[in-house]
Homo-oligomer: A and B are copies of this chain.
Amino acid sequence: MTATVHRLDSPAGDPRPQPSLGPLMALIAGDMNMVNAVILDRMRSQIPLIPELAGHLIAGGGKRMRPMLTLASARLIGYSGTRHHRLAAAVEFIHTATLLHDDVVDGSDLRRGKRTANIIWGNPASVLVGDFLFSRSFELMVEAESLKALQILSGASAVIAEGEVNQLTAARRIDLGEDRYLDIIVAKTAALFAAACRIAAVVAERGEAEEAALDAYGRNLGIAFQLVDDAIDYVSDADTMGKDAGDDFREGKVTLPVILAYARGSEEERKFWKDAVEGRRDTDADFAHAVDLVRRSRAVDDTLARARHYGQRAIDAIAMFPASPAKDAMIEAVAFAVARAY
């Protein structure tokens, strides 16, 4: 019997259909309803501003990527219990709390095509409702009665916060370099993806090997996901993605497209990038020039190539699991994640 090899890059001319999250969402739709019920229940508070503000973001069209991963991972390993529902909701709350605080930290005004909570209700409310959701997430974890899952998720939360502080102290430094950039995105994005997947194996009480495989799937997918996000800022527009193209550029964020374009640029181009990340280049014309530079230096192409590398590693991390609809859907989710920018 020949091993089935799943590869991200299709041969030239292969008319492979556009990958989608559809199969994964269909697979876990029933579980996700349960998770959504937990989420809605635990957003409640006698203080009306809390569900109002939290609901703006939670009901606001996010893909629920992270709880989806917990649910898919549970399917992959054949877990049929319900202990992971509360944990999946907890993961979404951690993520939402992080988004609320991120938008305060970055002063963002638009997320997923909607005005951010900090713009509507102000920074103080966003900080405090983030804290509330964060606390609620721990209450949910406690109810799942797994100290190991608690350890993994509290550890991931600390790593996320460290990653955010690392990013903050690296802000507007054109000399960031790819390694430190990777450290930051591993901490602020990939750690929660990894934890979301790993906890499925924890509550199912599988062994360390399955935990590690799911962790690696989530971590590599998370890195790929963030790389593509950072590439999209230089190729898409608000109409298609609900994210303002050029947001990262205007905020002076040093992402991989910038790091590569800077490294590969002429002296004059480097000056442009340094000026841009230090806040002296933020007009539409500047952004158009930046898009031109990242294209000509193949910085976006190579950011996406890096994403495919981590995507392939995610797929290989779960190669050991037998074929199943869950496995197919998780592989297609990776293909979807890395194909978003095309």
Contact = CB atoms under 8 A, between A and B. Distances in A.
Contact of A132 (B50, B105, B123, B161): B161
Contacts of A150: 138, 142, 150
Contacts of A123: 104-105, 123
Nearest to A161: B132
A316 interface: no
Interface string A92-127: 000001100100111000000000000000011101
Interface stretch (A58-66, A164-172, A331-339): A164-172
A48 B143 CA distance: 35
Nearest to A149: B142
Given A139-B154, A139-B158, A168 B134 contact: no
Contacts of A162: 45-47, 50, 132
Grouping DSSP codes into helix (H, G, I), strand (E, B) and loop, the A interface class, with mixed when no group exceeds half, is: helix
A128 interface: yes
B161 A128 contact: yes
Among A46, A158, A160, A168, find the residue whose CB has the most chain B CB atoms closer than 10 A: A158
A151 interface: yes
Contacts of A134: 131, 134, 157, 161
For A49, A125, A143, A162, which residue has the most chain B Cβ atoms within 10 angstroms?
A162
A78 interface: no
Nearest to A138: B154
Contacts of A98: 131
A145 interface: yes
Contacts of A132: 158, 161-162, 165
A186 to B, nearest CB: 13
A308 B21 CA distance: 61
A154 B132 CA distance: 10
A154 to B, nearest CB: 4
Interface centre among A50, A138, A143 (most CB of B within 10 A): A138
Given A124-B168, A145-B147, A166-B47, A101 B131 contact: yes
A228 to B, nearest CB: 24
A124 B101 CA distance: 8
Interface string A32-52: 000000000000011111100
Q: 7 shortest A-B CB distances, which residue pairs?
A: A132-B161, A135-B158, A135-B157, A138-B154, A105-B124, A131-B161, A128-B164
Given A47-B169, A105-B123, A135-B154, 5 more contacts: A47-B162, A128-B165, A135-B161, A138-B150, A139-B158
18 contacts: A45-B162, A48-B169, A49-B168, A49-B169, A98-B131, A105-B124, A125-B168, A130-B131, A131-B134, A131-B164, A132-B161, A135-B157, A135-B158, A135-B160, A136-B158, A139-B151, A139-B158, A142-B147
